Chains A and B, each alone.
Chain A
Amino acid sequence: MTQTPWSWKEMMAIFFARQIEDGDTLCSGAHTEISFCAAMLAQKSHAPNLRLQLGGTGYLCNLAGREVIGGVPRTSVDYRIAQWAEAYFDHPETFIFYGPPGGGRRYYEDRAAFAGHNGYFFADHFFVGGIQVDYHGNVNLIGLGSDGGFTMRGPGSVGIGDVITVRNMFVFMTAHDPRRFVEKVDYISTMGPSGWREKQFPGNGPQWIVSPLGVFDFTGEGMTARLRGVFPGHTELQVAAATGFPVARSELFGDIEPPSPGELALLREQVDVNRVLSEGGGA
């Protein structure tokens, strides 16, 4: 591990932003400064047509060319989110924006057929946190324990098991250790990608697990978690030691580019203007 001139939160936000394409739809879900900054950064850098539901308010926001005054919203229900809004719906109505164009699996298997499609459909990307994630990508927000009992009660599943039409779920973990990265989660709030296929959900479910150390994907056989890359300043050995399941390389394993000076400048000067991602210093 070496010191980097950016924080792990900044690296993570920049990594997420890079995965977001112009014209995508995204629901940032429950608040974290990382997912908020990632979405805002994408819209300001390369995805001005990103259709973005920012937080739990139901406001659809576009920040392209708009100033972030006073910093990143503090919570997912911060009223200041309204300053970038151009549409709104009640939270339960989120769920009537779930149906992908074309119906069924077509949208996911033949995206070219829907190129330029301009209907709002929630969502291509969705952020999911967890108290545990496992080898199969199952995510747990319910708690630790067994048989309906809890040695540690988690916050609850929120809506992560409801978003069954999501194309790409980012599972993001704000700490990486064998208690969080486990062989099998104690309880399941949303299934991993093989579960989604087995239950014939329209969407794909978790496609990434991202931690302060690196990134896993599910592109291999059996859709199990494989190491896609490590963040600059970290090593594969370090990831293996911090992970409670066997760590193997994805076929797509490769270097993760460090934040470019341009990415960092945009993030710090136009998005995270009060520098909440810098807390904790270098990786």
Chain B
Amino acid sequence: MTGPARKEVVVSAAEAAARVSDGMTIIIGGFVTANHPMPVVRELIKRGAGDLTVIGSATAGLEIDLLIGAGCVRKLIAPYVGAELYAPIGNCYRAAAESGEIEIWECSEYILYAGLQARAMGQEFMAWRGGVGTSIPELNKDLVVFESPLGDGKEYLAVPAIGADWGFIHVGWADAYGNGQHVGARFGDRVLARAADRVAVCAERLVPNSYIRRNPVMTSIPYADLVIEAPFGSHPYAAHGFYAEDAEHIRAYVAASAAYRKGDRAAFRAYLDEWVTGPEDHDAYLEKVGVRRLLELEREYAGVSLGRHAPEGWPDGQF
């Protein structure tokens, strides 16, 4: 059988980042120290993207902190920016919030999800009781407290729809047509993607369509507008099913950003030069990280990984 061919959407990280213009709203997926589309984040900084509204995940990590430190962000929508034991609070985020350099759309996890969900459903707002009685609606005037129309006197928040021009999501693998499958936890990525007008997935592996069809239940991001193939594409953060986070690299970033917060920006600039603007592309970045380190990070997830270290008897593609 022949007929017109389907459209393939594979691009480089640089090409994907070039779709973002200054002033746009973008979403970055993942969760704390896992599953962030880092090649795109680095390319955005390399291009000097600015004036962005950035929507982080419900527990956003230092990928957002990096964008703030690099001067790309005007407004932040995220209920947390940090990296738990590595950095309880993102340093650049903290500095920019304290100086007023960035505007923060104050929220909590489900206030964020409610806004994204409203957009995904084509509604103007979603009602949510969480956040009632807190400082959040005082700090964020977009949230409107209202009394239940059911007459029980209970207060709710009207959370207006939150949308984005582009959503960037890390997945385990994807085919050339834009069907992405997560391996391991999906976090909030499906809702994040649904609220974006256009979605690009950053995939650890580019796989044939037949591979996707073996288990369509796993397809978490169907019909992405762009697919970027990027092995170790979440480095220095972890990718479920593939490799652990690079603790040493993260600590070096945290040290550079801690100096930034205290007003000494030289170390942060050196970090950007070395790891973001320096390497020509993602392959050059990985070359700099080094094979030895990358293999070590893979081995850390050996035993639970579906990658080369999948233990015998573990069901393929089931989690």
The answer to whether A150 has its CB under 8 Å from any CB of chain B is: yes
In the complex, identify which listed stretch (B11-19, B86-94, B265-273) lies at the interface while the others stay far away. B86-94
Nearest B residue to A141, CB-CB: B80
Nearest A residue to B189, CB-CB: A90
The answer to whether B204 has its CB under 8 Å from any CB of chain A is: no
Cβ < 8 Å to B, chain A residues 53-80: 56-59, 69, 74-80
The answer to whether B139 and A187 touch across the interface, beta carbons within 8 angstroms, is: yes
Give every chain B residue within 8 A of A149 (Cβ-Cβ).
100
- Shortest beta-carbon distance from A134 to chain B in Å: 13
A-B residue pairs in contact (CB < 8 Å), sample of 17:
A31-B84, A56-B31, A78-B238, A79-B305, A151-B98, A153-B98, A155-B90, A156-B78, A156-B81, A158-B80, A158-B108, A161-B130, A161-B136, A163-B130, A189-B136, A190-B134, A199-B133
The answer to whether A142 and B135 touch across the interface, beta carbons within 8 angstroms, is: yes
The answer to whether A56 and B98 touch across the interface, beta carbons within 8 angstroms, is: no
The answer to whether B187 and A56 touch across the interface, beta carbons within 8 angstroms, is: yes
- Shortest beta-carbon distance from A160 to chain B in Å: 7
The answer to whether A274 has its CB under 8 Å from any CB of chain B is: no
Give every chain B residue within 8 A of A200 (Cβ-Cβ).
152-154
Cβ < 8 Å to A, chain B residues 82-107: 82-85, 88-90, 93-94, 97-98, 100, 106-107
The answer to whether B188 and A92 touch across the interface, beta carbons within 8 angstroms, is: yes
The answer to whether A188 has its CB under 8 Å from any CB of chain B is: yes
Give every chain A residue within 8 A of B319 (Cβ-Cβ).
82, 85, 88
The answer to whether B32 has its CB under 8 Å from any CB of chain A is: yes
Nearest B residue to A138, CB-CB: B134
In the complex, identify which listed stretch (B2-10, B43-51, B209-217, B239-247) lies at the interface while the others stay far away. B239-247
The answer to whether B186 has its CB under 8 Å from any CB of chain A is: yes
The answer to whether A5 has its CB under 8 Å from any CB of chain B is: no
Q: Which of A58, A159, A164, A189 contacts B185 (CB 8 A)?
A: A58
* Complexed CA–CA distance, A143 and B93 (Å): 12
The answer to whether B132 has its CB under 8 Å from any CB of chain A is: yes
The answer to whether A162 and B109 touch across the interface, beta carbons within 8 angstroms, is: yes
Q: Which of A74, A142, A155 contacts B139 (CB 8 A)?
A: A142
- Shortest beta-carbon distance from B301 to chain A in Å: 5
The answer to whether A160 and B108 touch across the interface, beta carbons within 8 angstroms, is: yes
Give every chain B residue within 8 A of A163 (Cβ-Cβ).
130
The answer to whether B79 and A150 touch across the interface, beta carbons within 8 angstroms, is: no
